[in-house]
Structure 1
Amino acid sequence: MPFSHLRRWLGIELIEVSAVEKTVSTLGGGLAILALIAISTWALPTGGAAALITSMGASAVLLFGVPHGQLSQPWPVIAGHGVSAFIGVTCAHFIHQPAIAAACAVGLAIGAMQQLKCIHPPGGATAFTAVMGGSAIHQLGFSFVLFPVLTNALVMVLLAVLINCAFRWRRYPNAFHHPVHSPRSETPKHGSSPTHEDIVAAIRSLDSFVDISEDELIQLVELLNSHPGASK
């Protein structure tokens, strides 16, 4: 099997970002987690901090590795964790079988995040932690939602704003991000799809993780070209 086909099946990234981009992501995520460890340990001195930091570690990957992704924006981060924590605490309180409570918490958290347009995958881990995180978390009751969960989420977003602000191509959230548009030597003809080389060049120029596949990009272009308003 040719490597291109193997890459497609395995989902290997099409383009590698620059060393600078990787360094910023690495250091930013590390600094954010260091701050959250301090907050979570203060809130849960008798245990449970490690379980909570796990879900925040997943958020750090999104905010610093994929800062322009929809799942990384402030509303999904803050509301995703907050809603999931509330659902998790509620399930832990009313459902006394831990496995069923955890399953309900994660499932309901996914549904709520979809309904509220705040899908943030680490929120599922937060809901799970509210149920299975141990007695220290259970003793906090619904205050667990405000501190440390929402506090951690707010701190994470603030750090993402501050750290990414120093780099023009990474500014966070998307409202602050103004990508540089390079002039094109040729304008693509209406109805034509981009070639593989076009896609590679375009993604490389962004120097940022793009959470979309080459096939999806081509499909979007074809859908736009076939849209009734595309020729206007």
Structure 2
Amino acid sequence: MQTRWISRLLPASTHTRPTEWSRAAIGVSLGTLFSVWVCSLFFGLPVALHLIGPLGASAVLLFAVSSGALAQPWSILGGYFCATLVSLVVVYFLGRNLNSACLAVGVSLIAMCLLRCLHPPAGALSLLVVLADPDSASLGWAVLEPVMLAAACMLVSAMAYNNLTRVRYPKKAEAAAVPTVPAAAGDPRITAQDLQKALEQMEAFIDVTPEDLEALIKASEQNARRRSVTEVFTQGPN
């Protein structure tokens, strides 16, 4: 039992190739640099650098795990907007201190969940908006402008770089294909709608889309069929 518990702490094996790591790493660096540079042109370097932490975290999601539900366009734009707006409201009533910062990140989480735009780096952003540096704090409610500009630049760079490097982004929802051959009785086909419902029933944050799950299941079924055929030919008649 203790060994099983310890094994849960070990990192899971990754299924991506080193070439993909390099592709994502270059994108993360370029996306972050582009976002900070554009933001600094309009609002100054101190304000832009104040946002570099959340932007770097967002870049990891948008370039390294771009198929995840937390890395889609509405997630970063809606998440950044919710976190900033909630934090500004908290600052208006409670001021800039540690307690209000912690309250802001919690309320931001609820807002993002309600609007279906959960984006983890936005949590760090809400803390930074409350505990802002003098240059950012002096902007007041106008701090929304550099935040959304930086988020938009990160999104544009992710869309351009990912698609140029043959990684489809953003992830487009596809209608579930209708089976051309009727399924056998007692063996229903799993569709994207079934997977969506299953994800909702799990009542937990799972960073995957129903379309990705459907593609994974179909690929697994094909591999299983190939393995089954191979076993028949290798084993031969008894």
With the length of structure 2 as denominator, give the TM-score of the two structures: 0.68
Q: Structure 1: which amino acid aligns with 2:168?
A: R
> Which residue of structure 2 lines up, in the alignment, with residue 227 of structure 1?
none
Per-residue CA deviations over 1:162-200 (Å, capped at 9, x if unaligned) read: 1111233x21011189xxxxxxxxxxx959xxxxxxxxx
Does the alignment pair 1:114 with 2:113? yes
User: How many angstroms does 1:7 deviate by?
Assistant: 8.2
The ranges of structure 1 where at least 4 consecutive aligned residues each deviate by more than 4 angstroms after the TM superposition are: 5-8
> Which residue of structure 2 lines up, in the alignment, with residue 200 of structure 1?
none
> Which residue of structure 2 lines up, in the alignment, with residue 34 of structure 1?
33
Q: Structure 2: which amino acid aligns with 1:90?
A: V
* Alignment check: 8 A CA contact 2:39 2:149 kept: no
Tell me, in whole angstroms, the C-alpha distance in 1 between the residues paired with 2:45 and 2:33: 19
User: How many angstroms does 1:51 deviate by?
Assistant: 2.6
1:186-225 equivalence runs, <5 A:
none
1:137-148 equivalence runs, <5 A:
137-145=136-144, 147-148=145-146
Per-residue CA deviations over 1:32-68 (Å, capped at 9, x if unaligned) read: 1111221333344373432311111110010011000
* Alignment check: 8 A CA contact 2:83 2:108 kept: yes
With the length of structure 1 as denominator, give the TM-score of the two structures: 0.70
* Alignment check: 8 A CA contact 1:39 1:148 kept: no
User: How many angstroms does 1:15 deviate by?
Assistant: 2.8
* Alignment check: 8 A CA contact 1:81 1:153 kept: yes
* Structure 2 unmatched ranges of 5 or more: 175-185, 189-205, 218-238
Go from structure 1 to structure 2 and tell me whether the alpha carbon gap of 1:68 and 1:118 turns closer, same or farther (over 3 Å shift).
Answer: same
RMSD of aligned residue pairs (Cα, Å): 3.0
* Alignment check: 8 A CA contact 2:36 2:150 kept: no
- Over the matched positions of the two proteins, sequence identity in percent amounts to 29
Tell me, in whole angstroms, the C-alpha distance in 1 between the residues paired with 2:116 and 2:45: 35
Q: Structure 2: which amino acid aligns with 1:162?
A: A
Larger Rg: 2
* Structure 1 unmatched ranges of 5 or more: 178-188, 192-209, 222-232
Tell me, in whole angstroms, the C-alpha distance in 1 between the residues paired with 2:101 and 2:27: 31
* Alignment check: 8 A CA contact 1:48 1:133 kept: no
1:74-93 equivalence runs, <5 A:
74-93=73-92
Q: Structure 2: which amino acid aligns with 1:40?
A: C
Per-residue CA deviations over 1:190-220 (Å, capped at 9, x if unaligned) read: 59xxxxxxxxxxxxxxxxxx967xxxx9xxx
1:94-113 equivalence runs, <5 A:
94-96=93-95, 98-113=97-112
> Which residue of structure 2 lines up, in the alignment, with residue 45 of structure 1?
44
> Which residue of structure 2 lines up, in the alignment, with residue 171 of structure 1?
168
